[in-house]
């Protein structure tokens, strides 16, 4: 989230798309209700009428997988309205705080010119040469601008051209949304473009779980930037995260492509620390840009100091060579393919249940059989840990050695978790764990102590120092406070805890396990455990003294965009920050960088985390910097592509699918075509259950509320197929089939697109074969196909057929 | 001293049935009254009165049925007797106030085996008994299947029967035990016999018929 | 002591059903075995282990779809049939307005469950043996008499449930109804007048029957006739009978003696 | 119009023979009808702050336990995100506790080909896992990829966990990367 949960209450319009907070983030609805009580509007766009939609002022149905078309249409609406009525929009924000005025390489061509493709596409590699995705720069390397936004090569004009095709009629034809509903959404949300007004976009996995999911997110950013809704109270692009610490797990880089704090992993070619830093540190010559990420070397070296302590010296590149290097894609789908192919022999599963949660579950489960060993650490028996006794397999045929390690529950141990608002919150031990179950921290610690002992005794082991020299001084029972302090970091000269990452150094004199969390545990104490409800000075719900928010306790990121170039808030009623000229300091939230307002001599552009210092409506590909600085894989603007499995031809271009998605050709990878599978299927969660189900399908109270797997379909489709409510039905895709009870409902309606009727059905994906409540897993149906940038699977839109069982 | 001559009014069987029925009835009244009189309701907590009420109900329903099975003829005769109203009965109604208040025995026409008051008591029970039983069964076994209005009106009807029966029950006990004219009646339900004088005074018609019957049969 | 009330606003309810579980959690109620009945709704009905449940209903209104969520639990009536008919005092009016239920006193007669105009109280145990207890929403009596709010209200994320002084809740409810009138001409504050005022009031956008509520809940006629007429009449009759018999005894004893009979 | 029982009696019962009886009889009910019961809380409400383990809202809860066993969990009324509220999942959190017989309370091991689990102790299991990790890592070590020194193993993977605390995530990634692992994924990817 750019903003935070409480801030939703400040919004004039809450736009929920690709999410369903009433069911998956119910606490959000406390704040949404407040926004509505203040007169705010609630818009919900969703393929089905969800419990969130039930509370909406405006609900618009949209066929799964057509998000970019929908948002693109809104962008067109806003641009057209902006040109007609500029007084209704914050043009200063657009011109000064975004790259709308930046001139782009004239060689750049977009989908409007190239039938859905951007310049530089290489079909054989399914990737782009991004050299034309660049700015025109002057002799100092600073991009050229046209502040009138009229140069045909300026970002604004390119944006306008990109979305000129996305007319309301085209949106309706593509998304199946009735035109009047679409325009109602446009009008309601465009109203937040006025200075002092704010609209927020609240989304979740309905946005991301598409082959172009990253570009859907980008489309939200473009829309919000046009409406000047980033950085302000009640605005932002807010991802509602689905697990209590999925934010923290991401921050701490339990992902193949990252190191803690969103530092990029070393690639094969990063032979030295210097090479790595040169490649991943963004360089920018515009003096008004803070380009904060140029501090990256300080963060990486401090992390290495935390990991390797005295063994990390300038002479050995601070232990950089201890880190593994890799350039391949090791993401989730790749991982299970590698397992299926026998490359992966051992798997550790920590509080996760991929046999239910991963796509193409039949393949996932089959892949597990190839393992030599599997360790599952959990509170429960899971489908993953028990794959060898799943229905229709003979355990004797499966030679995998399996461990089920009992872990303590959240309230049976002490530590911190980071919520969607980026708040790291400390929680305490309130009860005892059952039997010999113990905290994961102890399990990890105990295991690593044993591993280190084995390597201490084996001088011939490869790259042994990486293990033996790793600092691991947590004793027999690791103290979470000690670990939290290591994450926060120390000034190694004084032994004092760091106050913030601003003081980290690249010379090895500071340590910090994760720069983003620097400041969370200081000499003043454990900031994450704070419980002070003081909301001064502006009383806009920042609660700056409650827990601790990364970065540096900033509650709303990009908050320098909430003020005009002189530091005065656009919305004086809900200021995030405000420049106190007399005191020469910012009041309110922790400002993005301590610099004075932009208009001042020493002032900086507001978006300190981009190299440019302004927000990107056009995602240029910069030569250096972290992943995103190098541009998106699949274009500079979000462009609509159909889901991998779609019942229609792309109405917006001749390019059917995202051209950069990786296509898999394993023996269990199947694609269904619309002749055999004409119905769109989507999967989702319901409030009564959680994720892969082990945390709720074992709880009698949760099971009582939602006892069985079910499949939701429209009355129209049910009539067509002769299905009555409560009938057992079979849903089949190219990958598998599930049988479950039919729930015939008015909440799904057929989409009428240009005369063609497209049916969509949906089902929750919580069930599996282990637990108090069992049932077929929806992910038996889902395809192994991922987003072009992140490889997140396309769970939300695929093709199926349905019949009475 | 010479024994007073006694005549048998009720057989052993009749007396056993009577007392078992009385026991059941009193059990039902006592366990039922808790639902009627709130300030003693607290005694009824934890359902023990409900259990006993059900046992009492079985006895209460069971005794007449058993009686029918064991002595079908006398059961039918008893019913006939209760339903047969002659001029003595209307005479009884006219004479009752003087008779019961002033002891004016002369005003009272001679009565049969049971007097008209007893017939009334019997008729009332013939009426309320089935009401108790039917509404009781409805409330007992069908409360979850039938509309709650059935239960509600069953409670009502059960209560109407309860009030009527209890009031008449007071009269019954009073006349059997306390009323000065009736001092001999209680023994008829204990040892089954009444004195000849009592029989002649209260059930003249019956006594005479009985005396006639006994002669031809040779008597004892 | 000001009477307390719960105000339920279905237009804010998202049917997360936190209330259903929070109630079970606080009151130590076990889960009921269920199956999917072709809807999100479950358990199918109130029961001794379910004091509160949400009803789900799909409805086309004004050319758009609505999904109505309605609370189903004890309404804590002012004119409460259950209290009227409870013979043991197990059900009573608490000074804070709610229907206090003292399970210890319950004799298991089941009258409350049969006379309630909302069919709320449920019996646990056996109607055959009669060994059973009534059960229903307790208004979290232990919480509210210790300055805590009821578990269902506390847990409600979208503030669809509110708790406070009855007059305060009335004001809030009326205000909310006024706001809803523009879109819903039938909007109505259910519980303001019903049964002398309910201590659980609903802000209804539609007519009560659309939400599955009785349009005009009343004490059943049987309650009035039974409790209001028959019961006192019974006392009167019994009293008159006893009086009459006593009188007879006095008169008869004197007269029968004077007749010289023994 | 409805007359309640007491009103009716005032009107009709007065003067009748049973009125006295009734007034005695109904006094109990009258008292019962307004019993000012103050009911002691039947259990502790909460004492130990925690954060919900379900979605990413980060709602606050309070755990009350007696002798280490949970007796109550409900929303933390001070917490700014939820102000004491809890959805059906949060409200059911108590059934995650040790009282739930479905919780794993033993270290379980399934030998290759075995039809069921067997209980083991921590010591044996962690030693065995450590050995398996070392064997697999060392036997599948990739020091070079082409000309580049890469020092990694692709034979061991880890997935999860967004259910861990930050401190646990940090120690886990520190451990995994030191082992040269690259197949590391969490729920964020799916």
Question: How far are the Cα atoms of A575, A590, A592, A608, A616 from residue A604, in angstroms, in the given order?
Answer: 19, 15, 10, 8, 16
Per-residue model confidence (pLDDT) at position D169: 98
Chain B to chain D, count of Cβ pairs less than 8 Å apart?
15
Per-residue model confidence (pLDDT) at position A387: 98
Residues of D in contact with B42 (CB under 8 A): 28
Q: In angstroms, rounded to a whole number, what is the distance separating the alpha carbons of residues A452 and A540?
A: 50
Confidence band for C257, pLDDT divided at 50, 70 and 90: low
Asked if residue A655 lies in contact with residue A116, where contact means CB atoms within 8 angstroms, the answer is yes
Per-residue model confidence (pLDDT) at position A793: 97
**Closest CB to D141 among A402, A438, A462:** A462
Strand segments (E) across A428-581: 490-491, 496-497, 510-511, 521-522, 525-526, 548-549, 577-580
Question: How far are the Cα atoms of D135, D150, D179, D180 from residue D141, in angstroms, in the given order?
Answer: 10, 10, 10, 9
Q: In angstroms, rounded to a whole number, what is the distance separating the alpha carbons of residues A796 and A775?
A: 20
- Token pair belonging to A620: 């240029």
pLDDT tens by residue, C64-103 = 999 999 999 999 999 999 999 998 889 999 999 999 999 9
List all chains that touch chain D, counting a touch as 3 or more CB pairs closer than 8 Å.
A, B, C
C235 in reach of chain D (CB within 8 A): yes
**Closest CB to C245 among B35, B166, B171:** B171
Mean pLDDT, rounded, for A61-90: 98
**Closest CB to C159 among A33, A702, A743:** A33
Mean pLDDT, rounded, for C185-190: 97
* A15 phi and psi angles, rounded to 5 deg: -110, 110
pLDDT tens by residue, A159-182 = 999 999 999 999 999 999 999 999
Mean confidence (pLDDT) of chain A:
97
Asked if residue B150 lies in contact with residue C221, where contact means CB atoms within 8 angstroms, the answer is no
Which residue, A765, A772, A768, is CA-closest to A704? Answer: A772
Per-residue model confidence (pLDDT) at position C103: 92
Per-residue model confidence (pLDDT) at position B201: 75
Asked if residue A152 lies in contact with residue A43, where contact means CB atoms within 8 angstroms, the answer is no
DSSP string, D111-141: -TT-SS-EEE-HHHHHHHHHHHHHHHHHHTE
Per-residue model confidence (pLDDT) at position B197: 79
**Closest CB to A51 among C15, C36, C65:** C15
pLDDT tens by residue, B121-132 = 889 998 999 999
Sequence-ordered list of residues with C-beta below 8 angstroms from that of C147, at least 6 positions apart, any chain: none
Sequence-ordered list of residues with C-beta below 8 angstroms from that of B16, at least 6 positions apart, any chain: none
Mean pLDDT, rounded, for B111-120: 82
Asked if residue A781 lies in contact with residue A800, where contact means CB atoms within 8 angstroms, the answer is yes
Interchain CB distance below 8 Å, D29 and B40: no
Per-residue model confidence (pLDDT) at position B200: 77
Q: In angstroms, rounded to a whole number, what is the distance separating the alpha carbons of residues C12 and A36?
A: 10
Nearest CA in chain B to D28: B39
**Closest CB to A347 among D98, D109, D157:** D157
**Closest CB to C21 among D16, D18, D88:** D88
Per-residue model confidence (pLDDT) at position D4: 46
Per-residue model confidence (pLDDT) at position D35: 53
Per-residue model confidence (pLDDT) at position B4: 66
Mean pLDDT, rounded, for C192-215: 96
| Touch criterion met for C and B (3+ Cβ pairs within 8 Å) | yes
B190 in reach of chain C (CB within 8 A): no
Per-residue model confidence (pLDDT) at position B214: 64
**Stated pTM of the model:** 0.93
String of b and e for A86-104 (b: at least 16 CB within 10 Å)? eebbbbebbbbbbbbbbbb
pLDDT over 90, % of chain B: 26
pLDDT at B57 over 80: yes
Structure-derived torsion over alpha carbons of residues A174, A178, A179, A183, reported in degrees to the nearest 10: -110
Instruction: Name the A residues in 691-710 with CB < 8 Å from any C CB.
Output: 700-708, 710
Q: In angstroms, rounded to a whole number, what is the distance separating the alpha carbons of residues D54 and A766?
A: 14
Query: ipTM of the predicted structure?
Result: 0.94
Which long-range contacts link C172-176 to residues 24+ away (Cβ below 8 Å)? C172/C7, C173/C7, C173/C9, C173/C201, C173/C203, C176/C9, C176/C11, C176/C203
Confidence band for A39, pLDDT divided at 50, 70 and 90: very high
Interchain CB distance below 8 Å, C36 and A707: yes
Q: In angstroms, rounded to a whole number, what is the distance separating the alpha carbons of residues B190 and B195?
A: 13
Confidence band for B208, pLDDT divided at 50, 70 and 90: confident
List all chains that touch chain C, counting a touch as 3 or more CB pairs closer than 8 Å.
A, B, D
Q: In angstroms, rounded to a whole number, what is the distance separating the alpha carbons of residues D49 and D63?
A: 6
B106 in reach of chain C (CB within 8 A): no
Per-residue model confidence (pLDDT) at position A434: 98
Interchain CB distance below 8 Å, D25 and B38: yes
pLDDT over 70, % of chain A: 100
Asked if residue A606 lies in contact with residue A592, where contact means CB atoms within 8 angstroms, the answer is yes
Inter-helix orientation angle D166-178/A440-456, to 10°: 20
pLDDT over 90, % of chain A: 98
Q: In angstroms, rounded to a whole number, what is the distance separating the alpha carbons of residues A59 and A13?
A: 13
A619 in helix, strand or coil? coil
Q: What is the pLDDT along chain D (190 residues), one digit of tens a residue?
A: 343 444 433 433 333 434 444 444 443 444 444 456 678 999 999 999 999 999 999 999 999 999 999 999 999 999 999 999 999 999 999 999 999 999 999 999 999 999 999 999 999 999 999 999 999 999 999 999 999 999 999 999 999 989 999 999 999 999 999 999 999 999 999 9
Quote the minimal CA–CA distance from D35 to chain A in Å. 34
Nearest CA in chain C to D24: C235
Which residue, A552, A6, A16, is CA-closest to D60? Answer: A6
Q: In angstroms, rounded to a whole number, what is the distance separating the alpha carbons of residues A520 and A528?
A: 6
pLDDT at A700 over 50: yes
Nearest CA in chain D to B33: D25
Quote the minimal CA–CA distance from C45 to chain A in Å. 12
Cβ atoms < 10 Å from Cβ of C196: 12
pLDDT at B219 over 60: no
Question: How far are the Cα atoms of A155, B7, B207 from residue B218, in angstroms, in the given order?
Answer: 134, 15, 17
B149 in reach of chain C (CB within 8 A): yes
Per-residue model confidence (pLDDT) at position B215: 57
What is the DSSP-derived secondary structure letter of residue A19?
-
Confidence band for B110, pLDDT divided at 50, 70 and 90: confident
Confidence band for B209, pLDDT divided at 50, 70 and 90: confident
Mean pLDDT, rounded, for A477-491: 97
Mean pLDDT, rounded, for B195-218: 72
Per-residue model confidence (pLDDT) at position A241: 95
Q: In angstroms, rounded to a whole number, what is the distance separating the alpha carbons of residues C116 and B172?
A: 38
What is the DSSP-derived secondary structure letter of residue A132?
G
| Touch criterion met for B and A (3+ Cβ pairs within 8 Å) | no
């Amino acid at each position: 989230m750019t903003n935070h949960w409480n801030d939703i209450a400040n919004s004039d319009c809450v736009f929920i798309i690709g999410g369903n907070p009433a069911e998956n983030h119910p606490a959000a609805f406390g704040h949404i209700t407040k926004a509505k009580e203040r007169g705010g509007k609630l818009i919900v766009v969703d393929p089905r009428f969800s419990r969130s939609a039930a509370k909406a002022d405006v609900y618009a149905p949209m066929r799964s997988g057509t998000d970019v078309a929908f948002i693109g249409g809104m962008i067109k609406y806003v641009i057209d309205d902006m040109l007609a009525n500029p007084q209704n929009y914050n043009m200063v924000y657009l011109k000064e705080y975004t790259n709308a005025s930046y001139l782009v390489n004239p060689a750049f061509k977009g989908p409007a010119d190239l039938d859905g493709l951007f310049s530089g596409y290489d079909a054989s590699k399914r990737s782009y040469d991004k050299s034309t995705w660049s700015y025109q720069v002057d002799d100092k390397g600073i991009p050229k601008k046209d502040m009138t936004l009229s140069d045909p090569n300026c970002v604004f004009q390119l944006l306008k051209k990109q979305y000129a095709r996305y007319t309301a009629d085209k949106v309706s034809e593509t998304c199946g949304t009735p035109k009047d509903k679409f325009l109602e959404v446009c009008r309601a949300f465009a109203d937040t473009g006025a200075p002092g007004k704010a609209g927020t976009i609240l989304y979740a996995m309905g946005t991301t779980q598409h082959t172009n999911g990253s570009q859907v997110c980008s489309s939200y950013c473009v829309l919000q930037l046009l409406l000047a809704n980033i950085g302000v109270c009640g605005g932002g692009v807010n991802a509602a995260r689905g697990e209590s610490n999925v934010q923290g797990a991401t921050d701490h880089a339990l992902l193949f492509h990252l190191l803690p704090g969103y530092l990029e992993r070393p690639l094969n070619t990063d032979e030295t620390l210097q090479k790595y830093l040169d490649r991943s540190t963004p360089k920018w010559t515009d003096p008004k840009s803070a380009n904060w990420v140029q501090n990256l070397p300080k963060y990486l070296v401090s992390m290495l100091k935390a990991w390797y302590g005295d063994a990390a010296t300038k002479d050995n590149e601070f232990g950089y060579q201890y880190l593994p290097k890799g350039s391949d894609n090791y993401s989730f789908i790749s991982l299970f393919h590698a397992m299926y192919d026998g490359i992966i022999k051992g798997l550790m599963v920590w509080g996760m249940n991929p046999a239910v949660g991963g796509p193409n579950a039949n393949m996932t489960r089959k892949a597990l059989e190839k393992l030599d060993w599997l360790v599952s650490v959990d509170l429960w028996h899971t489908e993953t840990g028990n794959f060898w006794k799943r229905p229709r397999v003979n355990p004797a045929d499966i030679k995998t050695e399996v461990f089920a390690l009992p872990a303590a529950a959240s309230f049976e141990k002490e530590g911190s978790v980071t919520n969607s608002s980026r708040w790291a919150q400390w929680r305490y031990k309130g009860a005892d764990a059952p039997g010999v179950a113990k905290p994961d921290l102890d399990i990890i610690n105990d295991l690593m102590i044993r591993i280190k002992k084995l390597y201490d005794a084996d001088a011939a082991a490869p790259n042994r120092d990486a293990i033996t020299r790793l600092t691991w001084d947590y004793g027999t029972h690791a103290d979470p406070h000690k670990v939290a302090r290591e994450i926060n970091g120390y000034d190694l000269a004084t032994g004092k805890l760091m106050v913030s990452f601003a003081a980290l150094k690249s010379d090895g004199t500071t340590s910090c396990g994760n720069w983003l969390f620097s400041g969370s545990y200081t000499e003043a104490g454990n900031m994450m455990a704070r419980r002070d409800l003081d909301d001064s000075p502006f009383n806009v719900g920042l609660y700056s003294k409650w827990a601790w928010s990364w970065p540096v306790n900033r509650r709303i990121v990009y908050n320098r965009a909430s003020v005009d170039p002189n530091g005065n808030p656009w919305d004086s009623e809900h200021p995030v920050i405000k420049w106190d000229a007399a005191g020469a300091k910012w009041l309110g939230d922790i400002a993005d960088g301590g610099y004075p307002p932009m208009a001042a001599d020493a002032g900086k552009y507001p978006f300190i985390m981009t190299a440019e210092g302004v927000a990107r409506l056009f995602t240029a590909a910069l030569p250096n910097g972290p992943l995103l600085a190098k541009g998106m894989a699949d274009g500079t603007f979000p462009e609509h592509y159909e889901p991998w499995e779609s019942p229609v031809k792309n109405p917006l271009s001749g390019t059917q699918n995202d051209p950069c998605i990786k296509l898999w050709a394993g023996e269990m990878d199947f694609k269904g075509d619309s002749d055999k599978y004409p119905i769109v299927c989507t999967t989702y969660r319901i409030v009564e259950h959680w994720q892969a189900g082990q945390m709720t399908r074992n709880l009698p109270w949760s099971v009582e509320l939602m006892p069985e797997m079910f499949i939701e379909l429209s009355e129209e489709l049910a009539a067509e197929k002769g299905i009555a409510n409560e009938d057992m039905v079979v849903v089949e895709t190219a990958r598998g089939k599930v049988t479950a009870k039919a729930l015939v409902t008015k909440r799904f309606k057929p989409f009428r697109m240009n005369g063609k009727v497209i049916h969509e059905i949906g089902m929750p994906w919580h069930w599996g074969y282990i637990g108090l409540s069992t049932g077929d897993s929806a992910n038996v149906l889902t395809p192994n196909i991922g987003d072009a940038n992140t490889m997140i699977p396309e769970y939300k839109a695929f093709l199926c057929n349905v019949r009475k069982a | 001293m010479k024994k007073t001559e006694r005549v048998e009014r009720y057989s052993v069987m009749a007396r056993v049935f009577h007392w078992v029925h009385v026991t059941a009835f009193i059990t039902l009244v006592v366990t039922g009254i808790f639902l009627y009189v709130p300030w003693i309701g607290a005694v009824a907590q934890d359902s023990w009165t409900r259990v006993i009420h059900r046992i009492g109900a079985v006895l209460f329903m069971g005794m007449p049925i058993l009686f029918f099975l064991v002595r079908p003829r006398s059961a039918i005769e008893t019913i006939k007797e209760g339903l047969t109203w002659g001029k003595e009965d209307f005479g009884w109604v006219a004479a009752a106030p003087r008779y019961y208040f002033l002891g004016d025995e002369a005003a009272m026409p001679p009565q049969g085996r049971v007097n008209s008051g007893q017939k009334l008591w019997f008729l009332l029970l013939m009426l309320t008994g089935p009401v108790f039983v039917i509404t009781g069964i409805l409330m007992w076994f069908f409360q979850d299947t039938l509309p709650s209005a059935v239960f509600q009106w069953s409670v009502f009807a059960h209560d109407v029967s309860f009030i009527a029966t209890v009031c008449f029950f007071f009269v019954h006990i009073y006349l059997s035990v306390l009323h000065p004219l009736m001092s001999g009646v209680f023994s008829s339900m204990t040892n089954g016999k009444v004195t000849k004088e009592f029989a002649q005074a209260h059930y003249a018609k019956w006594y005479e018929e009985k005396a006639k019957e006994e002669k031809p049969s040779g008597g004892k | 002591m000001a009477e307390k009330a719960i105000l339920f606003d279905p237009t804010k309810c998202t049917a997360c059903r936190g209330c259903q579980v929070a109630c079970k959690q606080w009151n130590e109620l076990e889960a009921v075995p269920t199956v999917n009945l072709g809807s999100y709704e479950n358990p199918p009905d109130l029961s001794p282990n379910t004091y509160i449940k949400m009803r789900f209903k799909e409805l086309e209104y004004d050319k758009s779809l609505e999904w109505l969520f309605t609370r189903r639990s004890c309404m804590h009536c002012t004119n409460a049939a259950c209290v009227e008919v409870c013979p043991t005092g197990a059900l009573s009016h608490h000074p804070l307005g709610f229907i206090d239920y003292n399970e210890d006193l319950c004799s298991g007669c089941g009258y409350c469950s049969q006379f309630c105009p909302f069919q709320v109280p449920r019996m646990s145990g056996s109607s055959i043996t009669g060994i059973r207890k009534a059960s229903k929403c307790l208004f979290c009596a232990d919480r509210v008499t210790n300055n805590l709010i009821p578990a269902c209200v506390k847990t409600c994320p979208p503030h669809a449930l509110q708790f406070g002084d009855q007059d305060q809740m009335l004001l809030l409810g009326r205000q909310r109804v006024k706001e809803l009138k523009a879109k819903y001409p039938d909007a109505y504050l259910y519980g303001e007048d019903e049964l002398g005022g309910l201590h659980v009031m609903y802000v209804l956008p539609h007519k009560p029957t659309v939400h599955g509520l009785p349009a005009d809940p009343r004490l059943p006629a049987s309650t009035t006739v039974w409790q209001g007429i028959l019961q006192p009449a019974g006392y009167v009759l019994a009293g008159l009978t006893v009086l009459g018999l006593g009188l007879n005894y006095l008169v008869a004893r004197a007269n029968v003696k004077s007749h010289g009979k023994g | 119009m409805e007359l309640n029982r007491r009103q009716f009696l005032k009107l009709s019962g007065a003067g009748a023979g049973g009125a006295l009886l009734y007034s005695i009889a109904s006094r109990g009910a009258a008292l019962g009808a307004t019993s000012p019961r103050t009911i002691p809380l039947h259990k502790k409400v909460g004492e130990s702050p925690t954060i919900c383990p379900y979605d990413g809202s980060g709602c606050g809860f309070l755990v009350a336990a007696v002798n280490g066993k949970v007796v109550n969990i409900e929303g933390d009324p001070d917490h700014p995100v939820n102000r004491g509220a809890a959805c059906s999942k949060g409200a059911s959190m108590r059934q995650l506790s040790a009282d739930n017989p479905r919780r794993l309370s033993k270290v379980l091991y399934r030998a290759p080909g075995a039809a069921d689990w067997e209980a083991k102790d921590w010591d044996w299991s962690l030693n065995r896992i450590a050995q398996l990790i070392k064997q697999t890592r060392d036997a599948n070590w990739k020091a070079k990829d082409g000309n580049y020194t890469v020092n990694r193993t692709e034979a061991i993977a880890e997935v999860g966990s967004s259910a861990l605390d930050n401190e646990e995530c940090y120690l886990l990634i520190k451990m995994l990367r030191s082992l040269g692992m690259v197949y590391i994924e969490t729920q964020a990817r799916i």
